[in-house]
Structure 1
Amino acid sequence: MHLLEKAPAKINLSLDVLYKRPDNFHEIEMVMTTIDLADRIELTPLASDRIIIESENQFVPNDERNLAYRAAKLLKDTYRIDKGVKIFIEKNIPVAAGLAGGSSDAAAVLRGLNRMWSMGLSTREMADLGAKIGSDISFCVYNTTALAKGRGERIKELPAPPSCWVVLAKPTIGVSTQSIYKNLKLDNVTHPDTKGMMEALRKNDFELMCRKVGNVLESVTLSLYPEVEQIKNQMEQAGAEAVLMSGSGPTVFSLVQQESRAYRIYNSLRGFCEEVYVVRMLGYRQPLD
């Protein structure tokens, strides 16, 4: 028996950092949603009590470094499950891109094993479990549009965004999230309007959503990686209605209502950026594919 689970990428419509906590983590407030770019996770029961990770993508680790592996192990250890599973990851989301690909894979493993092993865990229970191994996993378990607070583990579901096209572009660089937070100076940033973004979603107002996008980490990443700023400028010049970096980068996305304009932006980027995608906004909870 094989069980399939979809693992959509996420983008941050709004990302704010409020303060540094006593535990050295940052208190964050983010509005996130899903897009129609997804990994596919195939789960196969094993006769032996072990976890096997397989993928055709050479950048996907097959051991404890992989969040999907750690999610399966945490589930087994927490609930004393003595069953094995082979996890095949069909990787479509760019690696280390600020799109929560690894976190979404882990969340898909939690959802899938919950079904395969008939565990009966609630979404909240799976999200709490996922928070132990990664900040974005709780959101990815819900697989919807949400406000995430704390370290990302406190989730409040929100209405799906207005339907639109999303153009993604990832430069061929790696960005260290730790380095971005280290260089963040909270007394010298412009904080995004999180409440305004939530209002735009409640009103299903595309123009208001475009005005309220914001990412407090963006200025830090742009100052350290000029390639990211170049992509952002190119998207704006090509007619994007909103442009923002996702997470700590390096992926930049633009929002547009017209498909023709989305492909105009796509074509304008192909000359100097290899990984460019045109996808639809999702934002509603995804059923089994």
Structure 2
Amino acid sequence: MITEIARAKLNLALHVRARRPDGYHELETLFAFVEHGDVLRIVPADAPSFRITGPFSGALAGEGDNLVTRAAARFAAIFGGGAHSIELEKHLPVASGIGGGSADAAATLRALARLHHVALDDPKLFEIADALGSDVPACLLGRTAIGKGRGEQLETVPGMPGTPVLLVNPGVAVSTAQVFARWDGQDRGPLGSDPLAGRNDLESPARAIAPVIGDVLETLAAQPGVTLTRMSGSGATCFALFESEAARGNAAAAIVRSVWWCVQTRLT
């Protein structure tokens, strides 16, 4: 059995530069990853099977096809390898801006590559990832990187491994398409030399759809020891970076509410 962690993706900054004729948007973003994520298990089998377990499995109940099964099918079409039994243990909220589905697809590709002795930097793997979704190549790479284009043009940069992070989701699913549709079309400039001094241009439209995102951001920003607070992706998950694990723990204790998902983790 091969086990892969589908680590949650964070957009430490996300600048939307322009709408493209193909329906996508020109982006500049700083991708980073945390230790927490979904768990994917794959084993060779006589016949293909797929099941979802874990605390957020109910959100995907009844799906006969998703990014995991699509990733497995496309891997088989390119590399072969026969049938597999796949279990996805779902720990990340669905439609939450932290790349859950994209991370799951990327973990599937990594697991199958390991199982069938395909190099993890094989260009064909990244071609499959790019065809599956804009965030999948970054999740396949799994390292801190600047993403341009749709987010698929990647340049690795130094990260901040070990930095304490608190993830908070207010329990609402936000449609990525709806958030992008509400972007006002204004180019507010590129990522600078310090991407952490950037912004998330999707925060304002996401807050218009789900005002509770503003409550989360304000609550996080008020916690002692915070060094950066921002919404990730198109929302609704927000995050805060902390100067110490103690400060992060105190913030988690202050923030935990019955309707807010809250996880303590660290940057990888």
Q: CA deviation at 1:62?
A: 6.4
Distance, in Å, in 2 between the alignment partners of 1:213 and 1:27 is 16
**Local SS of the residue matching 1:72:** helix
Equivalent in the alignment of 2:252: 266
Instruction: Write the distance in 2 (CA, Å) between the matches of 1:226 and 1:62.
Output: 30
1:162 Cα shift? 5.7
Q: For residue 195 of structure 1, what is the aligned residue in structure 2?
A: 192
- 1:97 aligned onto 2:96: yes
**1:98-150 per-position Cα deviation (integer Å, ceiling 9, x unaligned):** 11111111111111111212344634331221110111100011111011111
2:211 maps to which residue? 226
- Verify the 8 A CA contact 2:242 2:248 in the aligned structure 1: yes
Q: How does 1:169-208 map to 2 (within 5 A)?
A: 169-187=168-186, 190-191=188-189, 194-198=191-195
The range that moved more, 245-254 or 84-93, is 84-93
- Aligned residues of 2:38 and 2:104 also touching (Cα < 8 A): yes
Return the TM-score normalized by structure 1. 0.85
CA distance in 2, matches of 1:222, 1:237: 18
Q: What is the aligned-residue RMSD (CA, Å)?
A: 1.9
Residue 140 of structure 1 is matched in structure 2 by 139
Equivalent residue letter for 2:21: P
Q: Distance in 1 between matches of 2:199 and 2:210?
A: 18
Against the structure 1 CA distance between its residues 93 and 229, is the aligned structure 2 distance closer, same or farther, given a 3 Å change threshold?
A: same
State whether residues 7 and 104 of structure 1, in contact with CA within 8 Å, keep that contact through their aligned partners in structure 2: yes
Match of 1:216 among 178, 185, 201: 201
SS at the partner of 1:58? Answer: helix
Q: TM-score, structure 2 length as denominator?
A: 0.91
Structure 1: 5+ residue stretches without partners:
199-208, 283-289
Show the counterpart of 1:206. Answer: none
Change beyond 3 A, Cα 1:141–1:123: farther
For residues 162 and 115 of structure 1, what CA distance do their matches in structure 2 show? 24
Runs of 5+ consecutive residues of structure 2 not aligned to the other structure: none
CA distance 1:96–1:76, shift in 2 (3 Å): same
How far apart, CA to CA, are the structure 1 residues paired with 2:257 and 2:25? Answer: 37
- 1:166 Cα deviation from its structure 2 partner: 0.7
State the shift of 1:243 in Å. Answer: 0.8
* SS of structure 2 residue aligned to 1:194: coil
272 and 150 in structure 1: CA distance in 2 versus 1, 3 angstrom threshold: same
Instruction: Write out aligned runs for 1:1-289 (5 A).
Output: 2-48=1-47, 50-56=48-54, 57-61=57-61, 63=63, 65-79=65-79, 81=80, 83-120=82-119, 122-161=121-160, 163-187=162-186, 190-191=188-189, 194-198=191-195, 209=196, 212-239=197-224, 240-271=226-257, 273-282=259-268
1:5 Cα shift?
A: 1.3
The percentage of aligned residue pairs carrying the same residue is 28
Q: Distance in 2 between matches of 1:82 and 1:162?
A: 35
1:272–1:148: structure 2 CA closer, same or farther, 3 Å change rule? same
- Change in Cα spacing, 1:196 to 1:64, as seen in structure 2 (3 Å) is farther
Q: Is the 8 A contact 1:67 1:102 kept in 2?
A: yes
Summarize the Cα distance change of 1:272–1:53 in structure 2 as closer, same or farther, 3 Å threshold.
closer
Contact 1:242 1:255 in 2 (8 A): yes
Distance 1:190 1:261, change over 3 A: farther
Per-residue CA deviations over 1:42-66 (Å, capped at 9, x if unaligned) read 1010123x34344342223565541
Residues in 2 aligned to 1:92 and 1:279: alpha-carbon distance in whole angstroms: 13
The number of residue pairs the alignment matches comes to 265
